[in-house]
Amino acid sequence: MRRNSFVVEEGSRQRRRSNDTETVSVGWILHMKAPIMKIPLLSAGLLLTVTIAVSSVASHDVIAQAPERTAQSAAPSTPRLPDGRPDLNGTWIPEGGGRGQASVKLPDGSVCVTNCAALLPPASAAAGRGGAAGPAAAGRGGAGGPGAAPQRNFPKYKPEYLAKVKELNDNQVKLDTGLQCQPPGVPRIGPPDKIVQTAREVVFLYDDGNGPFFRIVPTDGRVHRPAASPTYLGDAIGKWEGDTLVVETTNFNDETWLIDNGAFHTKDLRVVERLRRTGDKLEYRATSYDPAVLAEPWEGRVRNLQITDQEIEEPVRCEDRDLAHVVDGAHHDNVR
């Protein structure tokens, strides 16, 4: 609504400026009325042409400047709390709207969630390119099944752990706790669906396919809890670096993965998340540090979110009914 009101105001301002220009031009003609009547009609016509041309140029100048002013005024400002921090409160959804991805029903009756084009008949695959599922990406799980190369944006493991990654990838449908209704872990769970922010702490709420989860992030200078037990979502603390909320999480168990396709981690995993609001948009980044097994820190894909007036709802109960019907080890990437 703010954007519309800005456009209306700007439009009114343009109209006022245009009317002012026309009034000045008419006034000029009226002041020149006596001389005009004393000169030949041709001269009067020429003068009238010049006057109209000047008015047109002046109006064009006002209109030409309007898009720049409109673009500047249309950009929403970032709301802030009384303490001056950006206001992260609200429900956040992927930019463009909606949660999750649309599924595709395959000819054999099964349902594919991502990387579906290679599994569709040629005509259907061609029609579906560029849609929600998109074409199968080379180097991703899914159509390749067991032994397929991991995702392109995949953690870089030390050479001695590549065999373990491959074994986990080949047996993902049996070994991945994220497919067994367990908490997905961090950073795999992704950005929060809702944020509740106070001066002392920030609470992340998740409407996840595996269930409702929450994380409490102190921002008042508290340190990690020394006696806390390892958990799926770890122990988080936060701080502000300018307008960016930086969340550091440690003390994980080793039962989750960083991402699909066998991306395991140790209990020494440390994850740093960065959330920055600009206007009605929120940028989320997460970097994982696990030097015992990773050759270098790994940053997942950047998530761009937008605020919405929707409310999150309690997700349906997660119940695993698939393992008894597994045919082979083929798997697609997780929608997260």
Tokens standing for 26?
């008419």
In 3D space, the residue among 157, 155, 206, 162 whose CA is nearest the CA of residue 184 turns out to be 206
- Phi/psi class of residue 78: alpha, beta or left (left: φ > 0; alpha: ψ in -120 to 50)? beta
pTM of the model: 0.67
* pLDDT at 154 exceeding the cut of 60: yes
Q: Do residues 92 and 99 lie in contact, with contact meaning Cβ atoms separated by under 8 Å?
A: no
Average pLDDT over residues 72-100: 85
pLDDT in tens, 115-143: 566 666 765 544 444 333 333 333 333 33
Rounded to the nearest integer, the mean pLDDT of the chain is 75
The pLDDT score that the predictor gives to residue 268 is: 98
CA angle 105, 110, 114 (to 5 degrees): 60
> Residue 261: left if φ>0, alpha if ψ -120 to 50, beta else—which one?
left
Q: What is the spatial distance between Cα 147 and Cα 163, in angstroms, rounded to a whole number? A: 11
**pLDDT for 265:** 98
Structure tokens at 292: 């015992």
At residue 52 the predicted structure's pLDDT band, cuts being 50, 70 and 90, is very low
For residue 332, pLDDT over 70 is answered with no
| pLDDT band for position 250 (cuts 50, 70, 90) | very high
pLDDT in tens, 292-330: 999 999 999 999 999 999 999 988 899 888 777 788 777
pLDDT per residue as tens digits for the range 14-45:
433 434 433 333 333 334 334 444 444 444 44
Rg value, the chain, Cα: 30
pLDDT exceeds cutoff 90 at 64: no
Average pLDDT over residues 52-74: 48
How confident is the model over 183-241, as pLDDT tens digits?
A: 999 999 999 999 999 999 999 999 998 999 999 999 999 999 999 999 999 999 999 99
* 107 upstream amide cis, omega within 30 of 0: no
Q: Average pLDDT for residues 79-85, to the nearest whole number?
A: 96
* Residue 311, SS3 per DSSP: coil
Q: Map out the domains of the chain as residue ranges.
A: 2-74, 91-99+157-325
Report the pLDDT value the prediction gives residue 24, as an integer from 0 to 100: 35
Strand-strand pairing, 257-259 and 244-250: unpaired
